Structure 1
């Protein structure tokens, strides 16, 4: 029995906002409820509504910049930086900058659309 899972075919989450989401491990790709790991590229000008997820989310920036509004504080991360957003924290993710932002997102437990609690625009 293998003691590893090699992922060569991540689940590409369908989006309508130009953002690339490739889930390598998680509910959609490997049916893992404990953790999700996704490679993402947010295009310039991209943003999501505020949300209050029921999971911790770690973000590591590979290239570009990404803006986080955590509760009332605005934070900008650049390549080589990372952040952990605690579950049940109101947050907005965006890329208001001129270049795409490439990053890795890890959620514990795994990302689940029913537990992200995005606000209406």
Structure 2
């Protein structure tokens, strides 16, 4: 009997949050133990933001619906549906959705997202 050459993810890990953001990790440390990459489907509600951080991982973001604001070092970048961005590791960044509609997006981190590697500011 041969080993399966794929992994189908039907039950992503839903990350508990207190800020209204929905995070469903399909692959990564908490969902399947993979520390090399994490892939998550997210919805950031209108008005959402999180503290600045300087992660030890690259983060790729693809916007499905809505808009998302990034403050990268001292530059503000706004992504809209259909756009994507790659942010290098060890870059100071703040993610937010200051807009009136929710933002749905996919986030991919290499290596995988980890609270130990994100370095959020207080």
Normalising by the residue count of structure 1, what TM-score does the alignment of the two structures yield? 0.99
Question: Any stretches of 5+ residues in structure 2 without a counterpart?
Answer: none
Count of aligned positions? 120
Deviation by residue 1:61-101 (Cα, 9 ceiling, x = unmatched): 00000000000000000000000000000000000000000
Map of 1:1-121 to 2, 5 A cutoff? Answer: 1-120=3-122
Q: Give the aligned CA root-mean-square deviation in angstroms.
A: 0.2
Normalising by the residue count of structure 2, what TM-score does the alignment of the two structures yield? 0.98
Aligned to 1:84, the other structure's residue is in SS state strand
- C-alpha distance in 2 between matches for 1:3 and 1:76: 38
Question: Any stretches of 5+ residues in structure 1 without a counterpart?
Answer: none
Which structure 1 residue ranges, 4+ long, deviate > 3 Å from structure 2?
none
